[in-house]
């Protein structure tokens, strides 16, 4: 049942696995089967969430079931508490029943009848736990994504696609066909699937996730307006890439949090990130202890009431970013002093940020080491990447452009972009129904604006 054969792999895959691959873990599945698509799902004490996820997957068109493997990476640390380990062992037992084609549970029967392939990686049992230093969602994703390279059918003419999901998600019933068809028909290298957090019944939980999704969408909208090459959501359960791009960027990182941000940023430096719309991933809206920041922690923070969560970046920071991007990413090349003079004209704080980040010295090095204009443009993407873009926005926030009330910021951004949206509100923080209208507008508006 173990699949870890490297003999038939392309040279690039062998080289990658030889340099970056992890040899401790293996896929439990029929080694004779090969696939065009692998969905990688990290699992940490998620037994109760597997049912909704699998139910949503098997509601999909069966067109690609035979050529698709859903690969669960069941993981914990050696130091994880007994409850987590016990939950993971329930999960492994459940997945083993599916992989071995037996089991009395109704869902297992439905999965087996559907023809969808289920495999798993045991990174939970004694001796197979994740290391204390690196153990977390990044390493769990990396294990699954690396192992996906070993089970692709490299003889078929279909693209080899690595798709990321989380165990607490559900997907639309056209999810598989939409993702796979877009990658194959449009020859995509990397992308993200449209997402919408599920809105819970509990009012406080609902307010928490509405607030957080508005925060996420507003930031990406601001980046789109600013014409940033990094204007895309960085949500782990929405990421998709082909195997060539995965290898090109050196694979997934081991970050315990924000692994999705850094992975998508790496991809954006080598290829365009495409939006996969017409289908949707529905991430969980729960609070969570699993990662130090992200959805779960933001929901917890909202519910604790320790901070004012109804704040967004001043729209002015995106105007400054837009002017800088238009200057820096244009085909016109200038020396460091010229860029700094222009940056000061855009805004003195922008110039201060560039000085703080040693732009003068680093730009001179880029010009000296780049032999062609194409290399210079690539170096621009690398120097002013998604992380430095975020640092600039935070610098501007802390130097004259303080955050503003969430719904005022939305109104102002909509006006700047010429988007007709009006909610008659008399309060700084409107009632939940009006907040939902803002979220709906952001969802539909981002669809319109991003295409």
State how far the Cα of 328 lies from the Cα of 330, in Å rounded to an integer: 6
More confident residue, 48 or 297: 48
- Residue 69 has a CB neighbour count (10 Å cut-off) of 24
Q: How many residues does the chain have?
A: 451
State how far the Cα of 402 lies from the Cα of 395, in Å rounded to an integer: 10
More confident residue, 90 or 302: 90
More confident residue, 104 or 323: 323
Strands 37-43 and 68-75, bridge-based pairing: parallel
Contacts of 424 (CB under 8 A, 6+ apart): none
Given this model, what pLDDT does residue 2 score?
Answer: 43
Look at 78-92, 180-194, 436-450 and tell me which has the smallest mean pLDDT. Answer: 436-450
Strands 37-43 and 161-164, bridge-based pairing: parallel
Q: Where are the domains of the chain?
A: 2-200+231-299, 315-398, 403-450
- Residue 96 has a CB neighbour count (10 Å cut-off) of 16
With 50 as the cut, is the pLDDT of residue 215 above it? yes
Per the CB < 8 A criterion, the answer to whether 316 and 401 are in contact is yes
Contacts of 163 (CB under 8 A, 6+ apart): 37, 38, 39, 40, 179, 239, 240
State how far the Cα of 250 lies from the Cα of 380, in Å rounded to an integer: 20
More confident residue, 285 or 240: 240
Question: Over pLDDT 90: what percentage of the chain?
Answer: 81
CA-closest candidate to residue 70, choices 120, 145, 26, 109: 120
What is the CA 228 to chain-centroid distance, rounded?
17
State how far the Cα of 223 lies from the Cα of 228, in Å rounded to an integer: 5
Burial class of residue 215 in the structure, from the number of CB atoms within 10 Å of its CB (0-12 exposed, 13-18 middle, 19+ buried):
middle
More confident residue, 288 or 31: 31
Tell me the pLDDT of the chain averaged across its residues. 91
Q: How many CA atoms lie within 13 A of 445 on its CB side?
A: 24
Per the CB < 8 A criterion, the answer to whether 193 and 240 are in contact is yes
> pTM of the prediction?
0.93
DSSP characters for 106-124? HHHHHHHHHT-EEEEEEES
Given this model, what pLDDT does residue 305 score?
Answer: 64
State how far the Cα of 169 lies from the Cα of 56, in Å rounded to an integer: 9
Given this model, what pLDDT does residue 7 score?
Answer: 54
Binned at pLDDT 50, 70 and 90, residue 298 comes out as low
- Tokens encoding 145: 């994504």
pLDDT tens-digit readout, 308-330: 889 999 999 999 999 999 999 99
More confident residue, 273 or 300: 273
Positive or negative CA dihedral for 290, 147, 180, 234?
A: positive
pLDDT tens-digit readout, 150-199: 999 999 999 999 999 999 999 999 999 999 999 999 999 999 999 999 88
- Give helix 406-416 / helix 432-450 axis angle, nearest 10°: 30
More confident residue, 154 or 3: 154
Query: Domain 2-200+231-299 adopts which CATH fold?
Result: Spore Coat Polysaccharide Biosynthesis Protein SpsA; Chain A (3.90.550)
pLDDT tens-digit readout, 336-366: 999 999 999 999 999 999 999 999 999 999 9
State how far the Cα of 19 lies from the Cα of 42, in Å rounded to an integer: 23
With 60 as the cut, is the pLDDT of residue 421 above it? yes
Binned at pLDDT 50, 70 and 90, residue 200 comes out as confident
Given this model, what pLDDT does residue 299 score?
Answer: 64
Question: Over pLDDT 70: what percentage of the chain?
Answer: 93
With 60 as the cut, is the pLDDT of residue 94 above it? yes
Query: Looking at residues 100-111, what average pLDDT do you find?
Result: 86
DSSP characters for 398-429? HTT---EEHHHHHHHHHHHTT--------SSS
Binned at pLDDT 50, 70 and 90, residue 278 comes out as very high
- Tokens encoding 398: 């802390």
Given this model, what pLDDT does residue 425 score?
Answer: 83
Report DSSP state, residue 189: S
More confident residue, 305 or 420: 420
Given this model, what pLDDT does residue 1 score?
Answer: 39
- Coil/strand/helix, residue 444: helix
Q: Which range has highest mean pLDDT (3-7, 290-294, 392-396, 424-428)?
A: 392-396
- Residue 277 has a CB neighbour count (10 Å cut-off) of 16
Positive or negative CA dihedral for 411, 413, 416, 417?
A: negative
Given this model, what pLDDT does residue 32 score?
Answer: 86
Report DSSP state, residue 291: S
- Residue 368 has a CB neighbour count (10 Å cut-off) of 8
Given this model, what pLDDT does residue 3 score?
Answer: 43
Contacts of 402 (CB under 8 A, 6+ apart): 314
With 80 as the cut, is the pLDDT of residue 66 above it? yes
With 70 as the cut, is the pLDDT of residue 83 above it? yes
Binned at pLDDT 50, 70 and 90, residue 4 comes out as very low
| Bridge partners (DSSP) listed for residue 21 | none
Given this model, what pLDDT does residue 291 score?
Answer: 44
């Amino acid at each position: 049942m173990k699949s870890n054969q490297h003999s038939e792999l392309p040279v690039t895959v062998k080289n990658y696995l030889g340099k970056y691959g992890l040899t401790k873990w293996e896929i439990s599945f029929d080694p004779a089967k090969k696939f065009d698509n692998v969905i990688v799902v990290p699992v940490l004490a998620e037994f109760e969430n597997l049912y909704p996820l699998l139910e949503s997957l098997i509601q999909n068109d069966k067109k690609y079931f035979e050529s698709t493997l859903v690969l669960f990476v069941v993981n914990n640390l050696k130091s994880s508490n007994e409850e987590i380990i016990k939950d993971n062992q329930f999960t492994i037992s459940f997945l083993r029943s599916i992989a071995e084609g037996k089991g009395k549970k109704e869902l297992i029967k439905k999965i087996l009848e559907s023809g969808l392939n289920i495999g798993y990686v045991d990174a939970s049992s004694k001796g197979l736990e994740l290391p204390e230093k690196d153990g977390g969602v990044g390493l769990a994703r990396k294990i699954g994504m690396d192992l996906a390279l070993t089970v692709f059918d490299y003889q078929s003419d279909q693209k080899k696609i690595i798709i990321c999901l989380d165990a607490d998600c559900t997907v639309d019933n056209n999810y598989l066909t939409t993702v796979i068809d877009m990658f194959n028909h449009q020859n995509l290298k990397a992308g993200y699937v449209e997402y919408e957090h599920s809105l819970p019944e509990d009012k406080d939980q609902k307010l928490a996730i509405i607030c957080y999704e508005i925060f996420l969408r507003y930031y990406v909208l601001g980046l789109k307006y600013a014409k940033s090459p990094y204007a895309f959501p960085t949500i782990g359960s929405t990421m998709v890439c082909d195997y060539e791009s995965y290898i090109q960027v050196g694979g997934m990182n081991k970050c315990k949090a924000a692994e999705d941000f850094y992975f998508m940023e790496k991809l954006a430096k080598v290829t365009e990130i495409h939006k996969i719309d017409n289908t949707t991933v529905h991430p969980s809206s729960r609070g969570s202890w699993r990662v130090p920041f992200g959805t779960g922690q933001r929901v917890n923070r909202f519910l604790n009431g320790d901070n004012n969560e109804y704040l967004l970046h001043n729209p002015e920071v995106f105007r400054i970013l837009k002017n800088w991007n238009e200057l820096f990413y244009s085909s016109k090349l200038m020396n460091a002093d010229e860029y700094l003079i222009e940056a000061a004209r855009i805004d003195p704080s922008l110039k201060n940020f560039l000085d703080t980040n040693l732009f003068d010295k680093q730009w001179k090095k880029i010009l000296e080491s780049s032999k062609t204009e194409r290399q210079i443009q690539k170096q621009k993407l690398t120097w002013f990447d998604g992380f430095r873009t975020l640092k600039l926005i935070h610098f501007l926030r802390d130097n004259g452009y303080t955050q503003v009330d969430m719904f005022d910021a939305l109104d102002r951004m909509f006006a700047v972009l010429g988007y007709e949206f009006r909610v008659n509100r008399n309060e700084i923080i409107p009632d939940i129904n009006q907040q939902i209208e803002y979220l709906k507008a952001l969802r539909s508006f981002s669809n319109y604006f991003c295409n």
